[in-house]
Structures are given as structure tokens and as C-alpha cells.
Structure 1
Amino acid sequence: MTKAELRKTANARRKTLSQEEVAVYSQEMLHHFSSLDLSDVNTIHIFLPIAEKKEPDTFLFIDWLYLHHPHIKIIVPRADFDSALMTNYVYRGKDGLVKNLYNILEPGQGELHNGGIDIVIIPMLAFDKKGYRVGYGKGFYDRFLQKINTRKIGLCMFEPVEIITDVNEHDVRLDLCITPDRIYTF
């Protein structure tokens, strides 16, 4: 399937999920994530969920990290839709978050992070068995990931398709993808 076809299909499937299913799937993904060895991790970039799009609840991951790995610095993105680039800010809690024009939670202000990143937790709609993903089509994460050397972990509500047929040189392959059922390694 092409990215456009997968985007359409995955968005339609997500719309059928109840809030209870999203909550259960998010807990199952967190369970898998909690099995990863994070002993050498100092900084994690994690996307903030768009509840209206029924994305995995990454606030569960953030709370778990604070409880079990308080030494890990958590950073979250702020998108610039004019340049299609992201900047990273140190996460300081929900109180400092605002919704942008696209209803995406992001830090209103705070401490800019320009240092290293050990893991990036990436949103997606779909992925294939080779580790390529389909997002919303703006390319924010592909541009961001091309500039850094980091471990790339996707969170997806659904299992992979066999192959995305229109992968190109700008698409960045994942290292892992976590679904409610399991962890895929690429």
C-alpha cells in the first residue's frame, strides 16, 4: 500500500476506536515499553498525544519514566508549521502546555534543549515490516531524525502492513515499534 492509502485507512480505523480502547492499548504499549533496558538513557524525546486523533496516551509513559527513571530528562517537541521543523523543550509538566493552531499540545515556553537525545518516541498511523512509518504527511519527524543519531521507537495502535510501496530516501527507518500486542525490532 502507498503512504496515502495507509494514512486514509489508519485514520478511519482510529476513528472507530473508543476512548476505553485507546486507554487499554496505551497501557499495553506502556507495558512493552517498560520492558526495555533504559539503563544507559539520559534523554528521551516523546511526542505529546493528540487526544482527538486517538493517539497513544504518552502521558502514561512520561509518568512511568518520572517514577521509575527520574534521572532521565524528558523533552517534548514544539512544531513550527512555517518551516516544518521542530524544536525541543524540557518537559516541566502539563501546566506549561498550550494547544497550537492545530490542537496539538506543546510547551508554551521553557527551557530549550539542544543537547543529545538517546531515544525518540515517534507518533505514527501505520508502519511496515521493514520499519518504515506513515505519519500525518508533514515530514516533521523525518526531517528531525535525519539530523540526529538516536534510537527511534514508534508507537502504533495497529499491527504492521507487509510493505509501504512508496518509501523514499527521506523516510527514516525505525529501530523498534511498539504496538498493543508486541515490540517489533528492525
Structure 2
Amino acid sequence: MTKKELRKIAMEQRKMLSDADVAAYSRELLRQFSLIDLADVKTVHLFLPIEDKKEPDTFLFIDWLNVHHPDIKIIVPKADFDTALMTHHVYTGKDSLVKNLYNILEPAKEVIHTGDIDLVLVPLLAFDLKGYRVGYGKGFYDRFLEGVKTRKIGLSFFAPAECIDDVQESDIKLDMCIIPENIYTFK
């Protein structure tokens, strides 16, 4: 299937989810994530959920990391829709977030992080068995991850597609993808 076809299917699947489904699936994603060895991780970059798009609740991950790995620095993105690039900011709490014009939570005036990032939780709509992902189509994460040496873990409520037919050279492959029932690892 093409990215466009997978994007449409995934968005329809998400629309069908109730708030209770999103909450339950998010808890299961966190349960799977908690099984991953984070011993060598000093910095985690994660996306903040867009509620009206029924994205995984990554605030659960933030809370879990703060309790179980308080030494890990949490970084969150801020998107510049004019340039299609992101800046990366140290997360200091929900009180420091504001919604932008697209209803996406982002840091208001946080410190920009310019150091290494050991692990990135990557948003996606769909992924395939080779580790390629389909996002919303703006390329923010592909540009961010290009040339960055970090572990890339996708979060998905749904099982993978067999294959994305129109993968491009600029598409960045995931190292892993977590679904509520399983963790997929890609070579």
C-alpha cells in the first residue's frame, strides 16, 4: 500500500477509537515501553499528544520516566510550520506548555536542547514490517532524524502493514515500534 492509502486507513481507524480506547492502548504502550532497557539512556525526546488526532498519551511516558528514571532528561519538540523544522526543548512540566495555532501542545519559553539525544519516541500513523513509518506527511521527523545517531522507537495503536510501497531515500527507518501487544525490532 502507498503512504497516502495507509494514512487514510490509519486516520479512519483512529477516528473510531473512543477516549477510553486511547487511554487503554496508551497504558499498554507504556507497559511495553517499560520492558525496554534504558540503562544507557540519558536523554529521551518524545512528542506531545495531539488529543483531537487521538495520538498515544505520551504524558504517561513522561510521568513513568520521572518516577522510574528521574536522571533521564526529557526533551519535547516545537514545530516551525514555515520552515517545517523543529526545535527541541527541555521539558519542565505541563504548566510550561501552550497550544499553537494547530492545537498542538508545545513549550512556551523553555531552554533549547542542543546536546545528544539517546532515544526518540516517534509519532506515526502507520508502519510496516521493515520499520518504515507513515506520518502526517510534512516530514518534520524525517528531517529531524536525518543524520542523527539515536535509537528511534515508534508508537502505534495498530499492527504493521506488510509493506509501504512508496518508501523514499529520505524516509528514516525506525529501530523499533511498540504496539499495545508487542514490540517490533527492525534490523
Q: TM-score, normalised by structure 1?
A: 0.99
Q: How does 1:37-186 map to 2 (within 5 A)?
A: 37-186=37-186
> Is structure 2 residue 43 aligned with structure 1 residue 33?
no
How far is the alpha carbon of 1:152 from its aligned partner?
Answer: 0.2
Task: State the Cα deviation string for residues 134-175 of structure 1 (Å, max 9, x = none).
Answer: 000000000000031100000011000000000000000000
The number of aligned residues is 186
Task: State the Cα deviation string for residues 94-117 of structure 1 (Å, max 9, x = none).
Answer: 001001111100001111100000
Give unmatched runs, 5+ long, in structure 2. Answer: none
Q: Tell me the amino acid that sits aligned with residue 36 of structure 1.
A: I
CA separation in 2, counterparts of 1:148 and 1:173?
12
The CA RMSD over aligned residues, in Å, is 0.4
Q: Secondary structure of the residue that 2:120 maps to in structure 1?
A: strand
Q: Secondary structure of the residue that 1:64 maps to in structure 2?
A: helix
Match of 1:3 in 2: 3
CA separation in 2, counterparts of 1:48 and 1:110?
15
CA separation in 2, counterparts of 1:40 and 1:161?
31
Give unmatched runs, 5+ long, in structure 1. Answer: none
Q: Tell me the amino acid that sits aligned with residue 16 of structure 1.
A: M
Q: Secondary structure of the residue that 1:106 maps to in structure 2?
A: strand
Q: Secondary structure of the residue that 2:26 maps to in structure 1?
A: helix
Q: TM-score, normalised by structure 2?
A: 0.99
CA separation in 1, counterparts of 2:32 and 2:68?
14
CA separation in 2, counterparts of 1:152 and 1:78?
18
Q: Secondary structure of the residue that 1:57 maps to in structure 2?
A: coil
CA separation in 2, counterparts of 1:118 and 1:147?
13
Q: Tell me the amino acid that sits aligned with residue 12 of structure 1.
A: E
